[in-house]
Amino acid sequence: MRRILTTAVAIALMGGAALSAPAVAAEGQRTIDPRTADPSPSTSGAAPQAALPEVADIAGADALTTARRVLSGKARASDPSVTLALRDLWAKKSELSGRDLAQAEDLLARPTDGAGDSQGFGYTVPEAAPVCNTRLCLHYVPTTADAPPSLDWVNQNLAVMDSIWSTEVDQLGYRAPLSDGAKGGGPQLDVYLKDLGGQGIYGYCAPETRVKNRTASGYCVLDNDFSQAQFPNATPVDNLLVTAGHEFFHAIQFGYDYNEDRWMMESTATWMEERVATHVNDNRQYFETSPIYAPYVPLDLFSSQYTFQYGSWVWWEYLSTKYGKKIVKQAWDQAGSLKKDGGKNSIEALQKVLKKKGGLTKTFAKFAAGNLTPAANYPEGAEYEFPQFANGKVLKKGKSKRYSAKVYHLASASYGFAPKNSKGKKWKLAVTVNGPVKRTSPAAVVVVHLKNGKRQVKLVKLNNNGDGRMRVSFDSKKVLVVSVTLVNGSTRYQCNRGTGYACQGKPLDDKARFSVTARVTK
């Protein structure tokens, strides 16, 4: 389910207790804009780090409590989306019995189960004749608060869903959602219209019947009218389009692996919004929690409290821009659970598809460094705000500056150095990087940002100890700023530890120590 980035979350990210923004907290320090040639002076070299939240694996009783709360519109900041709450409940249903099992069945039931739904989530009147085509059926009721505004709106929902099916399945090549047999009246994917706005929910899809391995059929529910009184941030049509695109992709995911890593499920569904509703730009609401603006957060973190898993859609946007949209499908092929699939977790799937493209570490390092200049890396990047460095300094002839950081896995820290009074080809910036040992996959990228708008991107060659050096131009007549991005590319985990990372694993190389020293020399 799409999740709104609230003002409260944004404030918490920028200066709250749970996480700190990528700004240096010491007095007299501030972050800097890569476009400027005036990085701030620093009194300390350390970039801030905070303990990142982890999501423990939940038991069946907890999954039931969470799903009940989310569907009632009383979700806590620590709760997942409706789609994943129901996925978790469905996967844990075998742990329940008696009254708890009956309540779980009610929560997972289709709206047409009616007033007998003890959770009050079913239709209270008989449904009208569904509107169907050969692959979809739209269900609705003619009266009560769940009724759509008109039959035209029902037909529009069917047309939108059919168009999205054409884009995601026919054009992009993903598997069609698995058939539910005769449930809902036929083999088509059933989509129900229901008033969800009162609970603050746009829509959701729920797995229903296990088919083979970790694949399942399911059904979807969309708000009945996307009333602007309930959803004021966009038009009803735009909200329908972006929600349907996101949720339909969850139905597709159930045909690959309904138990795949949570961050991959939400980030790729949010990326899919750009394929079906690029003009809406709804996914930009997650920028504050994306690797562009929160690079210190691991790429694969699923956080119940914040929206990092939605913000990580920019990773897939970067990959699909660089290598074509098919690379996301290739990742899902590797993550799928069928015999013909790769059967891998999300990070293993990425390692496989990027193996012949330089590898995951190198690709992620270039991604992290490129995020300092979005216009150079994203189709709509010229419209994005410029990110900020963790710290930086203006350096004169003969001067040097050192910064250090503890970097989480699949995260980064970037520093800027701007020249002053060093005109001429002879002036260089000598960059020395000291990182963790090579087996933990450290990386460093130096980018020379020229005043003519061009960039010179250079990977620092690190030895087995994680150390490396490089000299680049520091001619103040031509160079605007030199950025150094320190990257912890580790993908080593102890899996199945109940965390919110890939393979529910415990990362083995978090808070890796890095330092960078820059010195102006001839």
> Using one digit for the tens of pLDDT, what is the confidence trace for 270-321?
999 999 999 999 999 999 999 999 999 999 999 877 899 999 999 999 999 9
Which residues, in sequence order, are CB contacts of 381 under 8 Å at separation 6+?
373, 374, 375
List pLDDT tens digits, range 475-519.
999 999 999 999 999 999 999 998 999 999 999 999 999 999 999
Give the single-character DSSP code of 166. I
Tell which wins on pLDDT, 93 or 118. Answer: 93
List pLDDT tens digits, range 128-164.
999 999 999 999 999 999 999 999 999 999 999 999 9
Q: Is the dihedral of CA 322, 375, 305, 363 positive or negative?
A: positive
For domain 126-368, the CATH superfamily is Neutral Protease Domain 2 (1.10.390.10)
CA dist 269 and 5 (Å) reads 16
Average pLDDT over residues 108-113: 92
Report CA 65 to chain centroid distance, whole Å. 25
Which region holds residue 96: left if phi is over 0, alpha if psi is between -120 and 50, else beta? beta
For residues 446 and 414, the answer to whether their CB atoms sit within 8 Å is no
The secondary structure element, H or E, covering residue 506 is strand 506-507
For the chain, which residues make up each domain, given as ranges? 7-50+393-521, 126-368
Q: What is the pLDDT of residue 52?
A: 57
- With the CA atoms of 237, 243, 244 and 250 taken in that order, what torsion angle do they form, in degrees rounded to the nearest 10? 180
Of residues 349, 287, 345, the one with CA closest to residue 499:
345
Q: What is the pLDDT of residue 34?
A: 47
List pLDDT tens digits, range 423-473.
999 999 999 999 999 999 999 999 999 999 999 999 999 999 999 999 999
For residues 197 and 231, the answer to whether their CB atoms sit within 8 Å is yes
Say whether pLDDT at 19 is over 70: no
CA dist 260 and 194 (Å) reads 28
Q: How far is CA 230 from CA 67, 75, 106, 488, in A?
A: 22, 17, 25, 42
User: Which stretch of 241-245, 257-261, 495-499 has the lowest confidence by average pLDDT?
Assistant: 495-499
User: Which stretch of 56-60, 90-94, 221-225, 409-413 has the lowest confidence by average pLDDT?
Assistant: 56-60
Q: What is the pLDDT of residue 476?
A: 96
Average pLDDT over residues 221-246: 96
- With the CA atoms of 117, 119, 123 and 125 taken in that order, what torsion angle do they form, in degrees rounded to the nearest 10? 70
Q: How far is CA 202 from CA 2, 195, 241, in A?
A: 7, 9, 11
Of residues 307, 315, 232, 335, the one with CA closest to residue 274:
315
- Mean pLDDT rounded to a whole number for the chain: 88
Say whether pLDDT at 38 is over 50: no
Q: What is the DSSP string of 415-467?
A: EEEEE-S--STT-EEEEEEE-S-GGG-EEEEEEEEETTS-EEEEE----TTSE
Q: How far is CA 454 from CA 206, 321, 457, 520, in A?
A: 47, 19, 10, 21
**CA geometry: angle at 173 spanning 169 and 177, to 5°?**
40
List pLDDT tens digits, range 80-107.
889 999 999 999 999 999 999 998 999 9
Say whether pLDDT at 10 is over 50: no
Q: What is the pLDDT of residue 58?
A: 67
User: 7-50+393-521: which CATH topology?
Assistant: Jelly Rolls (2.60.120)
Q: What count of other Cβ atoms lies within 10 Å of the Cβ of residue 159? A: 14
